[in-house]
Chain A
């Protein structure tokens, strides 16, 4: 029962993502903004001949878009046939965790609730296990920023 996880930081929180969901991690090139979108859609970016829809996941948690100078890495994921890049602050490691997913303990922050799936124990403490597709599907319901 060992599962491979990608560990990253998002909105100052340590997160873990199941590697099945992850296609690659890239340094973001230029992002072309898409007008009329909610805060979570940062824009479009080209990865070779592919066009990624860049999701500002931190904006979903904090409610405000991440400033351009803090946009660095993105996790590429293919969700229901479309390519997305989920922006993260940083990526630390990929490794297997013996116990796998553990149930959540304590009262989870309301902003995190739609995306959290459990807890994964990492070397120096627990990380929040999140689902990338939840950022896309859950994010669709967030009202457009004024």
Chain B
């Protein structure tokens, strides 16, 4: 009896898991008869089984659900969202009951009547559209579910896990025995007959091992099974519309791995729905389709499974992330200012940082991505983000195919061998390598590798082993711990690269925190697997973000002693020279129209977004229509630097190889064998006029006497050529701007105009000679005097206007 009950429970639980997705898919397409039948069958089976197992509550629930479904089947009722929700909650309750029975606990005594009542309830069709729109549409590729009728599913049996583990162990024993036999055989004289028999045995053992490994594999479908339901429920709770698509459910991965990935994946999906995908209103406002896209894709790549979750939501607001991190005191504003986009994005993995404006029940409490990353890295996986602010976010998980076999490096330290996951090792060098140096500072070891400083520890030191005297160089590995800060780890030697079968070590051994497991290589000597993050913690290496930024700053400060490199832009001047400018100063590179450049008072400028920017090298006339220009910024002031073309980004020493301060140049740097002049940003900004350019309204010249032929035919074109706007006659409404200058032919008219309008007036005379010392008029063919008088009048008016 007990056995029957046990079987009923596990079968029910399994079917429930598989069905959750089906119900949601059925809701999206109520006409799908196959799915409806599958759900109906489930309730029918439960009802039938619990009849003779004497489980009355199961029976009542399944009976009620079956009734409703058969009504839908007969077409008397439609599968509206309310009905589906009710069916789902009955399924949930059956799941709870099954669990309770399995645990032998008392059945949760909740009111089943309520659920059954909800099933019977019929809702007016009027309120449906709103609800219906919140339902996700599922396009899962579930070939199993879509299998044609009459095609029998493959026969399966149920086996206890422990039996499979025993089988696994047995096969491992066989492999070891074979290896030993092989060694023994090699020591003896060659006997072809024996060899071929052994070869056959060997192949059998290998095949057997492969097959047994397959028993551990499971389709990713199982990982995806709970997703559609979750997406549906969350979407409804949050009032968001989500189109979910699942791909690659038939990829297989290790059963244990599936279990390890479920939690991180669930978390990521919840995050995407809660923070990523916007509400339908917000999406409409930014011109996106109302329904957000959520795509889960699994595929196998080598010995890794790649699972990516992409949405077309808002992406991560890195600025907000930095703000939060600074607010919480996690990083200093200085450090934040030095962070690159990727570093900023990585802040999401810091504990307690979230971009959510408010804490919701679903996510945003700031416990999340750090835990997700820790969990993924614990199983030897990697997590990466591809952020497109405003357009979406893709999170990619890469996890090894199985938990138990990982590529590892065998290292020797203190006379013992240890393994370290290869994924944790960034690079390996010998300590006599020219590109690196190890320094001792106040007991701390610092390894400087190509100008980058790493904390360094010797493995012997962390593990409190004796460091044997060694002939020849030691190996230094740059190891990335789970906190992401790489450090250098010194070992006697890196000996080998092997696929390692990892098994958990006993709690006593794990308690030390520096080991992640153990492995038994072919030589039969157990070996411990090192945990990179644990080593960093045990050695108490600084691994906070602040320190990272501070170290960079420090490295810049003492660039005198080491050749510190900075990124620089290599470009070609309009005059043909090739020069370098520090990249961090360049805000952007843009193509500007040549007519946006101009000159005023000896200073070249460019009109950009309604502002005037000074032009660095004084150029303002170009042969081409478009000019490539660097937009340079010193924090407050900006300037524009027109160049012939931008070549590439290179690494240049902070101090040029040859210092030669002259003009805009600070010296010469040799990059890839080419001598390049380095622009001195200090001189660049120092050469700018003190005041930022203030753009004046385009000047207008008013010719007072509209009847005067000379003014109209000769003066007007001249003024237009000089860039002024010309109006003939005073405007009737007297609307005059600040930049307006009135030109008139007689002193009387000039006085009148000045009184009338208050605008500066320039008086012209026909005679080359002035009428007297008090005569302020200008000879009308003296072009220079005329132009400077107009400019002077405008300037005077400008200052007056400014003071007023």
- Neighbouring B residues of A41 by C-beta, 8 Å: 508-509
CB pair A36–B464 under 8 Å, yes or no, is yes
**Which B residues between 508 and 551 are near A, CB-CB below 8 angstroms?**
508-509, 511-512, 514-515, 518, 520, 524-528, 538
Residues of A within 8 A of B505 (CB): 51, 53, 82
Determine whether the beta carbon of A37 is less than 8 Å from that of B508. Answer: yes
Q: Return chain A residues, CB-CB under 8 Å to B177.
A: 48
Q: Output the least CB separation between A92 and chain B (Å).
A: 28
- Out of B414, B514, B528, name the residue touching A44 (CB < 8 Å): B528
Contact in complex: A46, B526 (CB < 8 Å): yes
Q: Are A46 and B525 in contact (CB under 8 A)?
A: yes
Decide: A49 and B512 in contact? CB cutoff 8 A. no
Contact: A53 with B525, CB < 8 Å?
no
Task: Check: B176 CB closer than 8 A to any chain A CB.
Answer: yes
CB distance from A46 to the nearest CB of B (A): 5
Residue A106 lies at the interface, judged by CB distance under 8 Å to chain B: no
Question: Across the interface, do B506 and A36 meet the contact criterion of CB distance under 8 Å?
Answer: no
Stretch of A3-11, A26-34, A117-125 lying at the B interface: A26-34
B520–A51 contact, CB under 8 A? yes
Instruction: List the A side residues contacting B463 at CB < 8 Å.
Output: 35-36
Please measure, in the bound complex, the distance between the C-alpha atom of A84 and the C-alpha atom of B524, giving whole angstroms. 17
The distance from the CB of B457 to the nearest CB of chain A, in whole angstroms, is: 13
B507 at the interface (CB under 8 A from A): yes
**Is B562 close to A, CB under 8 A?**
no
For B527, give the chain A residue with the smallest CB separation.
A32
CB distance from A115 to the nearest CB of B (A): 15
Nearest CB of chain B from residue A117's CB, rounded to whole Å: 21
Bound CA span A53–B518, Å: 10
The interface residues of chain A lying within 8 Å CB-to-CB of B503 are: 51
A33 CA to B413 CA, complexed, in Å: 12
In whole Å, how far is A32's beta carbon from the nearest beta carbon of chain B? 5
- B553 close to chain A: CB less than 8 A: no
State how many angstroms separate the Cβ of A75 from the closest Cβ of chain B: 15
Q: Do residues A82 and B506 form an inter-chain contact, with CB atoms below 8 A?
A: yes
B465 sits at the interface (CB 8 A) = yes
Residue picked from A32, A36, A140, most chain B C-beta under 10 Å: A36
Does B172 make an interface contact (CB < 8 A)? yes
Q: Given A36-B464, A49-B169, A49-B176, do A44 and B518 touch, yes or no (CB 8 Å)?
A: yes
| B508 engages A140 (CB within 8 Å) | yes
Q: Which residues of A contact B506 (CB under 8 A)?
A: 53, 82-84, 136
Binary per-residue interface labels of chain A (36-56) against chain B in the complex, 1 for a CB within 8 Å, 0 otherwise: 110001001110111101010
Residues of B within 8 A of A46 (CB): 520, 524-526
The B456-494 residues at the A interface (CB cut-off 8 A) are 462-465
Q: Report the Cα distance A48→B506, complex, angstroms.
A: 17
Q: Are A53 and B508 in contact (CB under 8 A)?
A: yes
With A36-B512, A36-B514, A84-B506 known as contacts, the answer to whether A30 contacts B525 (CB < 8 A) is: yes
Q: Does B752 contact A (CB under 8 A)?
A: no
Q: How many residues of B contact A (CB 8 A)?
A: 31
Report if A139-B176 is in contact (Cβ < 8 Å); known contacts: A35-B416, A36-B464, A49-B520.
no
**Which residue of chain B has the shortest Cβ distance to A140 in the bound complex?**
B508
Distance of A34 Cα from B463 Cα, bound (Å): 9
Q: List A contacts of B507 (CB < 8 A).
A: 80, 82, 140
| B464: A residues at CB distance < 8 A | 35-36
Contacts of A80 in B (CB 8 A): 507
CB contact under 8 A between A49 and B528, given known A35-B464, A37-B512: no
CA distance A139 to B508 in the complex (A): 9
Contact: B528 with A34, CB < 8 Å? yes
Interface centre among A32, A80, A83 (most CB of B within 10 A): A32
Interface bits B165-204 vs A (CB < 8 Å: 1, else 0) = 0000100110111000000000000000000000000000
Within the assembled complex, what's the spacing in Å between the Cα atoms of A48 and B302? 31
Contacts of B509 in A (CB 8 A): 34, 37, 41, 44, 53
- Separation of A136 and B512 alpha carbons in the complex (Å): 15
- Whether the Cβ atoms of A32 and B526 lie closer than 8 Å is yes
Cα A84 to Cα B505 in complex, Å, equals: 10
List chain B residues, Cβ under 8 A from A34: 509, 512, 515, 528
Q: Which residues of B contact A29 (CB under 8 A)?
A: 524
Contact code string B339-375 (vs A, CB < 8 Å = 1, else 0) = 0000000000000000000000000000000000000
Q: Which residue of B lies closest to A136 (CB)?
A: B508
Q: A89 to chain B: closest CB distance in Å?
A: 22
**Taking CB as reference atom, which chain B residue is nearest A53?**
B506
Q: Is the CB of A51 within 8 A of B508?
A: no
Chain B residues with Cβ under 8 A from A49's Cβ?
169, 172-173, 175-176, 520
Among candidates B511, B514, B515, residue contacting A140 with C-beta atoms closer than 8 Å: B511
Distance between B368 CB and nearest chain A CB, rounded to angstroms: 30
Nearest-Cβ distance from residue A64 to partner chain B, whole angstroms: 17
Residues of A close to B175: CB separation below 8 A: 49
Query: From residue B489, how far is it (CB to closest CB) to chain A in Å?
Result: 14
Chain A residue numbers with a CB within 8 Å of B524 are 29, 46
Over the window 50-71 of chain A, the binary record of Cβ atoms lying under 8 Å from chain B Cβ atoms (1 yes, 0 no) is 1101010000000000000000
Query: Given the complex of chains A and B, what is the CA–CA distance between A84 and B562 in angstroms?
Result: 53
Q: Measured between C-beta atoms, what is the minimum distance from B107 to chain A in Å?
A: 30
Give the residues in chain B near A139, CB-CB below 8 Å.
Answer: 508
Give the distance in Å from the alpha carbon of A30 to the alpha carbon of B511 in the complex: 23
Evaluate contact between A32 and B416: CB separation under 8 angstroms. yes
Of chain A, the residue at the smallest CB distance from B519 is: A51
A51–B503 alpha-carbon span in the complex (Å): 9
Nearest B-chain residue to A33, judged by Cβ: B416
**A32–B518 Cα gap in the complex (Å)?**
11
Cα of A53 to Cα of B527 in the assembled complex, Å: 11
> Is the CB–CB distance between B518 and A51 below 8 Å?
yes
A19 to B503, CA, bound (A): 27
Q: Which residues of A contact B504 (CB under 8 A)?
A: 82
Chain A residues near B515 (CB-CB < 8 A)? 34
Chain B proximity mask over A74-96: 1 for CB below 8 Å, otherwise 0: 00000010111000000000000
Cβ contacts under 8 Å, A36 to chain B: 462-464, 512, 514, 538
Residue on A with the closest CB to B170? Answer: A49
Inter-chain CA distance A84–B508, complex, in Å, is 10
A41 to B527, CA, bound (A): 15
Chain A residues lying within 8 Å of B526, measured Cβ to Cβ, are: 32, 44-46, 51
Can you list 27 residue pairs at the A/B interface with Cβ under 8 Å?
A29-B524, A32-B416, A32-B527, A33-B416, A35-B464, A35-B465, A36-B463, A36-B538, A37-B509, A44-B509, A44-B528, A46-B520, A46-B524, A46-B525, A48-B173, A48-B176, A48-B177, A49-B173, A49-B175, A51-B505, A51-B520, A53-B506, A55-B508, A80-B507, A82-B504, A84-B506, A140-B507
Known: A34-B528, A82-B506, A136-B508. 20 other contacts (CB 8 A): A29-B524, A30-B525, A32-B527, A34-B515, A35-B463, A36-B462, A36-B514, A36-B538, A41-B508, A44-B518, A44-B528, A48-B173, A49-B172, A50-B169, A51-B518, A53-B506, A80-B507, A82-B505, A84-B506, A139-B508
Residues of chain A whose beta carbon lies under 8 Å from any beta carbon of chain B: 29-30, 32-37, 41, 44-46, 48-51, 53, 55, 80, 82-84, 136, 139-140
Q: Which residues of B are in contact with A by a Cβ distance under 8 Å?
A: 169, 172-173, 175-177, 414, 416, 462-465, 503-509, 511-512, 514-515, 518, 520, 524-528, 538
Nearest 5 CB-CB pairs, A to B? A35-B463, A44-B526, A49-B172, A53-B506, A82-B506
